[in-house]
A and B are shown apart, each in its own frame.
Chain A
């Protein structure tokens, strides 16, 4: 099942990417809105963590 493993690889990449984009984007918007500078960093960290958790839920549980 080489194809499935390759697929899992790309799905994981997709999850990590969207985690960073979504929560990083929310952080960036909050920074713009409130004139602060730390929400972007916090959002990126939160997004990366949440994505990793999601990857674990989907691929690491069984």
Chain B
């Protein structure tokens, strides 16, 4: 086998260890690549939208148009359509959420950056915690604590005995399953996507170092890797949209009287 593979080692498939990147400075655990990427995303988003909106013209420049399109998409397609007449209060939060997740996701396929911070589960957890606190807070403020909880736990128009069956499900849905699915969906998509790209690119790299027969296959692995990169781009945008959309839906549900 030593002759077959130039490197002299078998293929080491990518694993979860590839996600635990070493600290950049010494062994300070707060200086890992995902942290820097998140900071970079905040700087990029802020500067982009500050520059894009600084000189707002009636006939917009290209940059202003790009900024306004993204804002308009979140405000109209997610905010107004889902939440209804009270939507303006929530647009800043939804907009921040959308651009932050989108930028960090797309970092996964930008050369040199190439790491989606959301593939570390703690980042989606924190984002889902924000959504969780905000949609419950909105509901409690609008309807009062007692009425809000009653609306969650007791669906109207059901015989009393059935509540034994349904109330645990309702409570679990609102307080456990919603934040968990929200964060895990984003995490799992980013994690699996990154792993998939690693498999194709690292596999291609390994093949091209092998014997001539393997070298011929290597371009196909790379081609698949590139194809998957485009597919990933779609998934990354979609996941940012879904996260924001569901947050808007939860807020809308908390605002309406009956769920």
- Residue A27 is within 8 A (CB to CB) of chain B in the complex: no
Sample of 4 more A-B contacts, CB < 8 Å, known A3-B78, A23-B168, A57-B155: A1-B81, A4-B81, A10-B242, A18-B169
By the criterion CB–CB under 8 Å, are B172 and A58 in contact?
Answer: no
Count of A-B contacts with CB under 8 A?
66
- Residue B173 is within 8 A (CB to CB) of chain A in the complex: yes
Grouping DSSP codes into helix (H, G, I), strand (E, B) and loop, the A interface class, with mixed when no group exceeds half, is helix
Q: 3 closest pairs, A vs B, by CB?
A: A7-B249, A18-B172, A18-B177
By the criterion CB–CB under 8 Å, are B77 and A3 in contact?
Answer: yes
Q: Which residues of A contact B166 (CB under 8 A)?
A: 50, 53-54, 57
Chain A interface residue count, Cβ-Cβ cutoff 8 angstroms: 26
- Residue B170 is within 8 A (CB to CB) of chain A in the complex: yes
By the criterion CB–CB under 8 Å, are B158 and A50 in contact?
Answer: no
Q: Which residues of A contact B259 (CB under 8 A)?
A: 58
Interface residues of A in 1-30 (CB under 8 A from B): 1, 3-4, 6-7, 10-11, 13-15, 17-19, 21-23, 26
By the criterion CB–CB under 8 Å, are A15 and B169 in contact?
Answer: yes
Chain B interface residue count, Cβ-Cβ cutoff 8 angstroms: 25
Q: Which residues of B contact A21 (CB under 8 A)?
A: 172, 176-177
By the criterion CB–CB under 8 Å, are A14 and B173 in contact?
Answer: yes
- Residue A45 is within 8 A (CB to CB) of chain B in the complex: no
By the criterion CB–CB under 8 Å, are A11 and B249 in contact?
Answer: yes
By the criterion CB–CB under 8 Å, are A13 and B157 in contact?
Answer: no
By the criterion CB–CB under 8 Å, are A54 and B170 in contact?
Answer: yes
Q: Which residues of B contact A23 (CB under 8 A)?
A: 168-169
By the criterion CB–CB under 8 Å, are A17 and B77 in contact?
Answer: no
Minimum CB–CB distance from B63 to chain A (whole Å) comes to: 28
- Residue B82 is within 8 A (CB to CB) of chain A in the complex: yes
